[in-house]
Structure 1
Amino acid sequence: MKARKIKEGIYWMGSVDWDSRLFDALVPLPDGTSYNAYLIEGSEKTALIDTVDPPMAQEFMAQLEGIEKIDYIISSHAEQDHSGTIMQVLAKYPKAKLISTPKAKGLLMDHLNIPEDFFISIADGETLSLGNKTLKFIYTPWVHWPETMVTYLEEDKILFSCDFFGSHIASSELFVTDKGRVYEAAKRYFAEIMMPFRNIIKKNLEKLAPYEIEMIAPGHGQIFPEPAFILDAYDEWTLGAPRNTVVIPYVSMHESTRLMVEHLVAALVDKGVRVEQFNLAVTDIGKLAMALVDAATIVVGTPTILAGPHPYAAYAAFLANALRPNTKFLSVVGSYGWGGKTVETLAGMIPNLKVEIVPPVLCKGKPTQEVFKALDDLAVAIAEKHKEQGFK
């Protein structure tokens, strides 16, 4: 890709990564991703906001050919997918100054060995004049690292948000056109990266509320020419109550747990409860994370193995604990061979979840009619709790 004009004196730079399917050796990328940087040419000074992941450096540096000078490099976030090419840019423009928060300065020196002489640490709310364009720096901590900030271009009312409002999408289109596709990708991104910091993100959204924002240019994914689209989505994901939804991640070894899960799903649906069912042996973990954003209840389905939960079920509990969804209720269903401490083990793995435990349903061997009756009772209990809370 060549540099692409957004508005007069403002350009997208970076790389569209069509082929990657895993981010940080952890996060699935079904639609690839992009690494976005932005060049702003003022009447007196030129600034570059962020860089790209080091494997994309060659394409990015080629985009800078013909750019005579860069006065400032702005680092929104010290993680390498945004900062990893800073040293190459500084080698090309040795007179440039690197602008960051004080916390980012320390991280960039630690992670990239950038000499301290290059840095200018800025305060929250500080501005920088490029002549006819003014940049304002706004601290947005824990979106999703402690040093993160966004940059607001006052004259053009553009918010350069880095990971905030991002989405992993590879596309030839610079601006959002397919809102359905972007909504799903942005929700996946929120679930996997931002959800653990929901309460802090609420405060950061409030901090941005006074600004007149006409465009949001994130560090991943397409640019939002209609900012209300993604701002409203973040309000929903951070401020909204859970929905009348039960998420059931499960694994079954000899069909008994599967039979229990299928019966419970049918009973919940019969009571007017939405269900998202995930077979952990084959599921896309990103899809599970997305479902957790809205889940009022999680029911883990697991057989007992070596006196505890199946490793896949333990991983699902670990994931939920790490992501900290706004879930209110939790239960466990499953089969065991002779005994164990499955429920106790899973309960001990979710200290971050402020949930009420709904009595689990476990059975020895294959489920009986008595077990199916207990699952019906569990569905009734969950449906009543959702109704009492007013979940819709």
Structure 2
Amino acid sequence: MIKRLKEGVYNVGAIDWDRTLFDEIVPTPQGTSYNAYLVIGKDKTALIDTVEPQKFDELRKNLEDLDVKKIDYLISNHTEQDHSGSIPMILDMYPEAQLITNEKCKGFEMDLLHIPGDKFTVIKEGDEIDLGGRTLRFIMTPWVHWPETMSTYLVEDKILFSCDFFGSHVATSYTFAKYYDKVYHEAKRYYAEIMMPFRNFIEKNIKKVEALDIDMIAPSHGPVFDDPGYIINAYKEWIDPKPSNMVLIAFVSMHESTRKMVEFLADELEKRGVDVKIRNLTTSDVGEIAMDLVDVATIIIATPTVLAGAHPNAVYGAYLANVLRPKAKFAGIIGSFSWGGKAVDVIKSNLSSLKVELLEPVLLKGLPNKEGYEKLKEFAQLIYEKHKEAGLVK
């Protein structure tokens, strides 16, 4: 499906309507798209990025339908194969094309795609290519979310081809974002799952983007934003270092003891004006948990004890928070045990990368009793006071 951004500027990529898992870990319930952009100048033609190799036929057909006889420049903004995987096939179709990218991307693509070094033309920050009446300028935007990622700016048309930056895993037939509540949700999911660990880099890259005169942001996944401020402001909200007055309780319960602890703690927190999200680590969509982590001030891992340690799903929940490195300020561990007591140590070891204050754990033996509930009430009060001290409670 060919999508027209402006006369002579087209999305010729592919839609993957039924892809439900990305990189064998990231759920994509709305499918996704692999956007490749064709820019036609008076003298030269450029293709910005390609598609997953399995979707190459769709890209090829779109180019044939537009009767593209020649591609002068093939621009690679990013190495991952959902962007670069069809480069070898495009070079076979258009052997005269110059493969344009930065030095780091060149090295990665020589390793991953076995493209000979002499096929590349290496560019740097601010370099430009004249297509005849249209100018492409290259903007280095590293760590969104790989070290070599760059963006390509179409100067005269004020379009930023931002690669993964500002993307969303959405399979859709429309060209421009319109159902903004849906797009916001999927863009936040995308940010949470792959961008959140790189907040500091994103802040710097947003400043680069805002220095440009932009009418459209055209990412490599999902719809194009013809209201760039919408997605830029959303990113600013997500990277803001101040979290919300919210607690995420990610739990597993085998025989209901831990569940009772979770429900009691949540009720006590809500009585104190603290918002709570509860996610069952056995059944919840990992993308939804990642989105919760974007905002929360406190992360609680709640686990039963299994063979003297934490439940494997609770370990995964802690590991997920650890690698995504959210802006949370506090973390805690609660749970139930019968005869083994190493669950806390296991969870702690999987939270080592978080810059949080680790609160004193609450680990109860068996089903919580009156004394146990009193400990949970004190724990809720401690969290409330920590949030208040951090200026999060209104």
TM-score with structure 2 length normalisation? 0.98
- C-alpha separation in 1, matches of 2:96 and 2:13: 22
* 3-state SS of paired residue (1:182): helix
Q: Deviations over 1:50-87 (max 9, x none)?
A: 00011111111111112010000000000000000011
In structure 1, the residue matched to 2:176 is: 175
The one-letter code matched in structure 1 to 2:58 is E
C-alpha deviation, 1:239, in angstroms: 2.2
- C-alpha separation in 2, matches of 1:263 and 1:377: 12
Check whether the contact 1:47–1:72 (CA below 8 A) recurs between aligned residues: yes
- C-alpha separation in 2, matches of 1:317 and 1:127: 45
Residue 335 in 1 paired to residue 336 in 2?
A: yes
- C-alpha separation in 2, matches of 1:33 and 1:73: 22
Residue 131 in 1 paired to residue 137 in 2?
A: no
* Consecutive unaligned residues in structure 2, runs of 5 or more: none
The one-letter code matched in structure 1 to 2:32 is T
C-alpha deviation, 1:203, in angstroms: 1.1
- C-alpha separation in 2, matches of 1:130 and 1:350: 50
- C-alpha separation in 2, matches of 1:64 and 1:210: 33
In structure 2, the residue matched to 1:151 is: 152
Q: Percent identity?
A: 55
The one-letter code matched in structure 2 to 1:6 is L
In structure 1, the residue matched to 2:370 is: 369
The one-letter code matched in structure 2 to 1:101 is N
In structure 1, the residue matched to 2:53 is: 54
Check whether the contact 1:166–1:219 (CA below 8 A) recurs between aligned residues: yes
Runs of 4+ in 1 over 6 A off after TM superposition: none
The one-letter code matched in structure 1 to 2:45 is T
In structure 2, the residue matched to 1:189 is: 190
In structure 2, the residue matched to 1:83 is: 84
C-alpha deviation, 1:201, in angstroms: 1.0
- C-alpha separation in 2, matches of 1:79 and 1:194: 15
Query: What are the within-5 Å matches in structure 2 for residues 237-386 of structure 1?
Result: 237-386=238-387
Check whether the contact 1:175–1:223 (CA below 8 A) recurs between aligned residues: yes
Check whether the contact 1:202–1:239 (CA below 8 A) recurs between aligned residues: no
* 3-state SS of paired residue (2:36): strand
Check whether the contact 1:248–1:301 (CA below 8 A) recurs between aligned residues: yes
In structure 2, the residue matched to 1:14 is: 13
Q: Deviations over 1:199-227 (max 9, x none)?
A: 11111112222111110000000000000
- C-alpha separation in 1, matches of 2:307 and 2:125: 53
TM-score with structure 1 length normalisation? 0.99
Check whether the contact 2:241–2:327 (CA below 8 A) recurs between aligned residues: no
In structure 2, the residue matched to 1:99 is: 100
In structure 1, the residue matched to 2:28 is: 29
C-alpha deviation, 1:240, in angstroms: 4.2
Q: Which moved more, 1:170-179 or 1:344-353?
A: 344-353
Q: Which moved more, 1:77-86 or 1:347-356?
A: 347-356
Q: Which moved more, 1:82-91 or 1:203-212?
A: 203-212
- C-alpha separation in 2, matches of 1:300 and 1:15: 40
- C-alpha separation in 2, matches of 1:345 and 1:354: 18
- C-alpha separation in 2, matches of 1:335 and 1:38: 54
C-alpha deviation, 1:362, in angstroms: 0.9
In structure 2, the residue matched to 1:120 is: 121
- C-alpha separation in 2, matches of 1:326 and 1:77: 27
* 3-state SS of paired residue (2:283): coil
Q: Deviations over 1:358-387 (max 9, x none)?
A: 111111111001111111111111111111
* Consecutive unaligned residues in structure 1, runs of 5 or more: none
* 3-state SS of paired residue (2:115): coil
Q: Deviations over 1:76-122 (max 9, x none)?
A: 00000000001111001000000001000000111011111210000
The one-letter code matched in structure 2 to 1:31 is Q
* 3-state SS of paired residue (1:152): strand
* 3-state SS of paired residue (2:284): coil
Q: Deviations over 1:19-55 (max 9, x none)?
A: 1110111100111011100000001110000000111
- C-alpha separation in 1, matches of 2:123 and 2:202: 21
C-alpha deviation, 1:339, in angstroms: 2.7
Q: Which moved more, 1:202-211 or 1:141-150?
A: 202-211
* 3-state SS of paired residue (2:267): helix
Compute the RMSD of aligned alpha carbons: 0.8
- C-alpha separation in 1, matches of 2:186 and 2:388: 30
In structure 1, the residue matched to 2:75 is: 74
The one-letter code matched in structure 2 to 1:77 is H
C-alpha deviation, 1:347, in angstroms: 1.1
- C-alpha separation in 1, matches of 2:380 and 2:367: 19
Q: Deviations over 1:298-339 (max 9, x none)?
A: 011000111111000000011111000011101111100113
- C-alpha separation in 2, matches of 1:239 and 1:124: 27
The one-letter code matched in structure 2 to 1:191 is A
Task: Report the count of equivalent residues.
Answer: 391
- C-alpha separation in 2, matches of 1:84 and 1:298: 38
